[in-house]
Amino acid sequence: MNMVQLFEKKKQGLELSQAEIQYFVEGYTTGSIPDYQASSLLMAIRLLGMSDDETFYLTKAMIESGDVIDLTSIEGFKIDKHSTGGGVGDKVTLVVTPIIAALGIPVAKFSGKGLGITGGGTIDKLESIQGFKTELSSQEFIDNVNQHKIAVAGQTGNLVPADKKLYALRDVTGTVDSIPLIAASIMSKKIASGADGIVLDVKCGSGAFMKTQEEAQRLADTMTAIGEKLGRKVIAHISDMDNPLGKMIGNKLEVVEAYALLSGRLEETHEDLVDECVVIASLMYQIAAGVNEAEATAAVKGVLADGSAAAKFEEFIVAQGGVVSDIVQNDTAHKVAVTAVSEGTVETINALLVGEASVSLGAGRLTKESKLDYDAGIQLIAKKGDHVTNGDTIAYLYSNQPIDEETINKIQQAYTIA
């Protein structure tokens, strides 16, 4: 078998066999297939797609490229969630994981660092808390879940090494936005992470990979089918990502907002985030506990109202070495108020532009080596539907480096005021 034969088959519109897909994934992961041949196949997949069987074989081969985490020593149904990316201001994981743990369901979650316009990932956000440790040994991870019902750790070295190499190549060859490639990338990591059930938050809109409802639905269906074929319970939910979620964008700022929401200080957050968190937490509880939507939603709102979700969040932070009193917004060297340039109602806030501005402020990475400014970010004062007049403050920008005009203009452009 060789790569040229695979190209010929793909060009003729034929399906690749399981053995051929395994050959490609193994060969690329171990280095016997060079980048230029892998890029060519990835572009063919990006342009021609993959059948359901091909996507399934790709996922399986990627899982088999590295370690699979064994969570069987954790009692109960282990639940995980994953967002498909493009979530500007997406701190849903920080809110829903303690809610689910407070309901007695074990949450064993591996998360990634962020790259690109979405700003930091969940791991970056948690690392913005003084002392918080995201590198846990397997035993520490399992002990924490057994004792506290929650642990969130960075992905270990050898979990789906094929994805690390393929994702890095896709990133520089214009082949990220492919439904089969995204589905295999996400599902291989989720399955290898060992959870019994997975809730997929499929983002759709300007800030996301999937721009239309139809594409988002196809990605959701593809991922659900893969999970079910591999014996996992999976539910997908499609959520709007035309607008940033909540009020805060930036690593520490998002932790502060998540903690405020859990603690019932709803004036510090926005109902779009609250609603999204209730929906995702309710889906997680439905598949883990086998209850219906109404029961799950009531249970989720219950632990938010009685303070047990906030207490669980604090317990989780302390269990991983973090200092709860550090979850406050720090002053930054520079702060700029962005003002409205016209009067009217905020029709939309372009998530892509807000994401790009947050990266310029230091809240996200442009390359894997970029250093984050944990306190940098954006506070949205005016949200979709709010009325503003010319000169009103619509957002604050925070950074420890000087804030340039381009970033300020970007936020003004992000607001469509009608």
CA–CA dist 256, 268 (Å, integer): 9
Q: What's the closest the beta carbon of residue 361 comes to ligand URA, in angstroms? A: 23
Q: Are 245 and 87 in contact (CB under 8 A)?
A: yes
Q: How far is the CB of 241 from ligand URA (least distance, A)?
A: 13
Which is nearer to ligand URA, 134 or 185 (by Cβ)? 185
- Give the pair of three-digit tokens for residue 214: 């139809």
Q: How many of the other CB atoms lie within 10 Å of CB of 402?
A: 9
CB of 197 to ligand URA, least distance (A): 18
Distance CA 106, CA 72 (A): 12
- Both structure tokens of 195: 């959870």
Taking the least distance from each CB to ligand URA, the nearer of 181 and 319 is: 181
Catalytic residue (one of 185, 188, 193, 308): 185
- The β-bridge partners of 80 are 198
Under DSSP, the state recorded for 371 is: P
Query: How many angstroms separate the CA atoms of 127 and 405, rounded?
Result: 29
Minimum distance of ligand URA from residue 181's CB (angstroms): 6
- CB contact set of 119 (below 8 Å; sequence gap of 6+): 88, 249, 250, 251, 355, 358, 359, 363, 364, 377
Task: Look up residue 271 and give its two tokens.
Answer: 């109902």
User: Can 163 be counted among the known catalytic residues?
Assistant: yes
The tokens 């607001």 sit on which residue?
415
In angstroms, what is the minimal distance from the CB of 377 to ligand URA?
A: 22
Q: Which CB sits closer to ligand URA, 182 or 338?
A: 182
Burial label, 84 (beta-carbon count in 10 A; 0-12, 13-18, 19+) = buried
Which residues are at the interface with ligand URA (CB under 6 A)?
A: 84-85, 167, 176, 181-182, 185-186
Nearer to ligand URA, 107 or 186 (CB): 186
Instruction: For residue 240, give every residue at least 6 positions away whose Cβ sits within 8 Å of its Cβ, in sequence order, or none.
Output: 204, 205
Instruction: Find the catalytic residue in 60, 78, 81, 82.
Output: 82
Catalytic residue among 170, 232, 247, 270: 170
CB 56 within 8 A of CB 62: no
DSSP at 274 = H
Q: Which residues contact 337 (CB under 8 A, 6 or more apart)?
A: 393, 395, 396
Closest residue to ligand URA in the complex (CB): 185
Distance CA 73, CA 142 (A): 7
Catalytic residue among 80, 90, 124, 163: 163
Look up 170 and say whether it is catalytic.
yes
For 141, the token pair is 């991870």
Nearest CB to ligand URA, comparing residues 224 and 332: 224
Q: How far is the CB of 117 from ligand URA (least distance, A)?
A: 13
> CA–CA separation, 334 vs 376, rounded Å?
9
Contacts of 32 (CB under 8 A, 6+ apart): none
Comparing CB distances to ligand URA, the nearer of 232 and 312 is: 232
CB of 286 to ligand URA, least distance (A): 24
Longest distance between any two alpha carbons in the chain, whole Å: 67
Catalytic residue among 189, 190, 270, 410: 189
CA distances from 285 to 107, 159, 193, 298, 300 (A): 11, 26, 19, 11, 8
The least CB distance from residue 183 to ligand URA, in Å, is: 8
Annotation says 370 is catalytic: no
Question: Which residues have a catalytic role annotated?
Answer: 82, 163, 170, 185, 189
